[in-house]
Amino acid sequence: MGGRALMAGSGKAHMSANGDALLRVEDLVVEFPLGGDRVVHAVSGISFEVTKGETLGLVGESGCGKSTTGKAVLQLPRPTSGEVSLKGTDLTQLDTQTMRQRRTDIQMIFQDPISSLNPRRTIGEVVAEPLHVWGPKGGDAQWAKVSEMLDAVGIDPDVARYKRPHEFSGGQCQRISIARALVMEPELIICDEPVSALDVSVQAQILNLLEDLKAKYGLTLVFIAHDLAVVKNISDRVAVMYLGKMCELSESDELYEHPAHPYTRLLMDSHPEPNPEAEVDESMVQLGELPSPIAPPSGCRFRTRCPLADERCERDEPQMRRVNDDHYVACHHPLVDVHEMEVSIN
C-alpha cells in the first residue's frame, strides 16, 4: 500500500503515487439522510483516477452508485466526504461561484437524450445556452461555435438550428447533447449511460462518434454503464462497482480475459450469448436479493450473493490487491491466484 493508511472503502493500492492524473478521486463518500438514523450509503469511500486522454469505464448493476459517483465529481451533489481533484485542485473545497467556473472544464452527457433537452428551445438555443453565460456572446461568433459542434457530431446545423428536440430521433438528440457538452471545450466529459436508451444499431454509432471526438478534441472520458459489453471497446480501463464500493479495476482486455472478482464474473455471465445451443455456465449462480444501501452487509458487501463467501468475508472488508501490472481486486477469494501473480511480478 506504499505506507498509505487504509480508510473506509476498498483501499488505494491501485492509485499512483505521483498524483499527476487529470482527475483524482480519493475516499469519496456520498450519503443521503432519510430522517432519524436512516441513511442511504450511495457511495462508500471509493478511490480512482483518470489520466489525460484516457477513457475509464465505470460499470455495475442499477443502484451500485456509479451515476451518483459521476454527479459527485461535478459536485452535484457535493460529496459527504472525500476529495475530488481536477488538475490538482480539490473541487470539494471551492465556493459555489468558483465551482461554477471550474465546471466548464467538466461536462456531462445524460442517459435520456430527449428529456435532457429543453423542449421549448430550438436546437440552436440549446447548444448555445452555455455560451450565453461564458461567451462568446456575439451572435455570429456564437453561432459559428454552435455550428462547428453540431457538424462535428453529424447534425446539419442549418437544418437543426430552428427545430426543436421532438423533431429528432433519440440517437439524433443524443448527438445534440454531445454537441452541447463539447461547446465549452471541456477537458473531461462524464458519460452517464449515454447509449442505454438507444437502439443497438444506434448505440454503435454513438460509441464510434465518442471515440472520434475523443481523438479530435483530446477528450478524457468517464463512461458509466451497467453493461460490460458496451464499455469493452471504448474503455482503456474498467472499474467495477457494487453497492457503493469498488471491487475490481483493470485494463479492459485483461478484465474480460481474466475477471478476478466473482461479481465481475457474474456480470459477464449475465450477458446473453446469441446461440440457443450454447451451454449455460452454472458454476457461478447469483444468490439472494440485492441488499439495501440503507443497511449494507458487514465485511464484503457482495458476500450475501457470493457462492465463495465464508466467515472472513462477513468479518473483514477486502482491500484492493494487485493481480498483475494494472489489475486490482478487492476480494478475499479472487478467481485468480493473487499470491502467485504477486510473486511473478516481484
Going by pLDDT thresholds of 50, 70 and 90, the confidence category of residue 34 is very high
Q: Confirm whether pTM is higher than 0.75.
A: yes
What is the reported pLDDT for 227? 80
**What SS3 state is found at 229?**
helix
Q: Using one digit for the tens of pLDDT, what is the confidence trace for 57-73?
A: 999 988 899 999 999 99
What is the reported pLDDT for 262? 93
What is the reported pLDDT for 340? 45
Q: What are phi and psi of 332, to 5 degrees?
A: -75, -25
Buried b (16+ CB within 10 A) or exposed e, 181-219: bbbbebbbbbbbbbbebbeeebbebbbebbeebbeeeeb
Going by pLDDT thresholds of 50, 70 and 90, the confidence category of residue 282 is low
Query: At the topology level of CATH, where does 1-87+221-272+281-346 sit?
Result: Rossmann fold (3.40.50)
Residue 289 confidence (pLDDT) above 80 = no
Residue 4 confidence (pLDDT) above 60 = no
Query: CA 29 to CA 8: how far, in whole Å?
Result: 9
Query: CA 241 to CA 290: how far, in whole Å?
Result: 13
Measured between alpha carbons, how far is residue 216 from residues 130, 143, 298, 338 in Å? 21, 20, 46, 39
Higher pLDDT, 289 or 26: 26
- The pLDDT > 90 percentage for the chain reads 71
Q: Using one digit for the tens of pLDDT, what is the confidence trace for 185-218?
A: 999 999 999 998 888 889 999 999 999 999 999 9
Residue 336 confidence (pLDDT) above 90 = no
Query: CA 57 to CA 136: how far, in whole Å?
Result: 33
Residue 346 confidence (pLDDT) above 60 = no
Going by pLDDT thresholds of 50, 70 and 90, the confidence category of residue 56 is very high
